[in-house]
Amino acid sequence: MGFLRKEYQFLSEIGLGPRNPGCYLNGSWRGSGPLVASLNPANNEVIAEVVEASIDDYEEGMKACFDASKIWMQLPAPKRGDVVRQIGDALRARLQHLGRLVSLEMGKILPEGIGEVQEIIDMCDFAVGLSRQLNGSVIPSERPNHMMLEIWNPLGVVGVITAFNFPCAVLGWNACIALVCGNCVVWKGAPTTPLITIAMTELIAGVLEKNNLPGAIFTAFCGGAEIGQAIARDIRIPLVSFTGSSKVGLMVQQTVNERFGKCLLELSGNNAIIVMDDADIQLAVRSVLFAAVGTAGQRCTTCRRLLLHESIYQEFLDQLLGVYQQVKIGDPLDNGTLLGPLHTPVSKENFVKGIEVIKSQGGKVLTGGYAIESKGNFVQPTIVEISTDAEVVKEELFGPVLYAMKFKTLKDAIEINNSVPQGLSSSIFTRRPEVIFKWIGPLGSDCGIVNVNIPTNGAEIGGAFGGEKATGGGREAGSDSWKQYMRRSTCTINYGSELPLAQGINFG
């Protein structure tokens, strides 16, 4: 087993062993479900084993979590913020080890793995400040001796179901905000990244224990669809945050809606970068490289469509093809690697099948287009010249495949950008103010993230993250996303002795 390798010794320092219980419930570790192996995507060798949660484990954990919510929500919000601050400090102390684990188990390169953990630290900092700003409002009443207030209270328990591509950052977007808002959290991590789920939970559990708080405030399960379905059906969970494909997200939404729960969906993206004829070509090339190749094309914000003005089309492609030849493919833990493996062998198979579909629809491969023969899940970064009318362009192929297309006018480019079912991220490269304001205005991009002169990926935590259409409409992380994790009450208080009615109604 890989766990015994010298380079894996750091795992024991973050609470992991050769075989690990995969659920943290009511303040203790256990697991009575199937035994699964965590694999290293760079060679598909076993890192360690995990005993997943069973439905009985889930039920026991949820009961304790629901009960703990009555304690946690009564703690003053700034006190809750201080606990989240301590979680951030614990993450800082383990930043390198946790980042290395993300790289090892997920497959993204080490700088990105460390950056993902840093993102949670940033979210902790944001949430600490937020804990003193969960403000309501005072509303003028039309009735004498009356006062109207708007106040925010916790929901109770928030369910968080995360995906493999950001196995802990998305937890941070949700859990940091949910916790300061007074909610307990039940987390189901991705089935293929259980070690990250365990290591993160171990750290959070330590902070709760240090503060003499119930461990059930943060409940975590390693498991598959059965646990996810249980969360979606559970009436004790008013809000379910789900990150994954549009297909599965729709099923989750339907299940949650059937019990009148709320969903926060972060689903598929099919993101475009538009390069206008006045763009800074070098800046745009560097941006496209990161947006299309970063995380091996497995970000929901990965650039999948490159729209080039016809006057700079060939010049831009020539420069981009040149930098693609310099991309170092290899072990994500090695210095200098820019492209690590896809996450699973199935992802590699889907890449190969996707290239065949692209070719069958008239796509011309300009570079790449092949899987690399190795024990790992490596593929070549690929650029394809294709028509904007090809059906495959409307789908999300989760890998480093970039579609290059021409356009004539800004109007054409915006129409192409908006022509796909997804609506997550978009970016335009231009120096002209009139183009910029057209792009970010009502007749511009229809996405939730609308950038100018930066890539489609690499969002900061200070803004609300999410998209429109088949991306799900959810908003997480910064801005006023916190309002989704609380319930709003409008309160009218009569402090007089008369009973005037609204709208001047006289009743009896």
CA gyration radius for the chain?
Answer: 24
Report which DSSP code applies to 95. H
Apex 72 CA angle, 68 and 75, nearest 5: 150
Report which DSSP code applies to 192. T
- 3-state SS, residue 404: strand
Rounded Cα distance, 178 and 181, in Å: 5
Distance of CA 307 to the CA centre of its chain: 25
Cβ pair 21, 30 in contact under 8 A = yes
Choose the catalytic residue: 119, 202, 266, 476: 266
Cβ pair 236, 259 in contact under 8 A = no
Rounded Cα distance, 378 and 357, in Å: 19
Q: For residue 456, report the phi and psi dihedrals to the nearest 5 degrees.
A: -75, -20
Supply 162's token pair. 């995360």
Rounded Cα distance, 307 and 411, in Å: 12
Task: Provide the angle, in degrees to the nearest 10, between the axes of the packed helices 169-180 and 77-93.
Answer: 150
What is the pairing mode between strands 19-21 and 45-51? parallel
Cβ pair 163, 170 in contact under 8 A = yes
CB-hemisphere CA count at 13 Å for 346?
A: 2
Number of Cβ within a 10 Å radius of residue 389: 12
150 is an active site residue: no
> Which is it for the CA torsion 34, 37, 38, 39, positive or negative?
negative
161: nearest Cα among 54, 256, 88: 256
Supply 147's token pair. 């006062």
Supply 102's token pair. 């993300």
Return the active site residues. 266
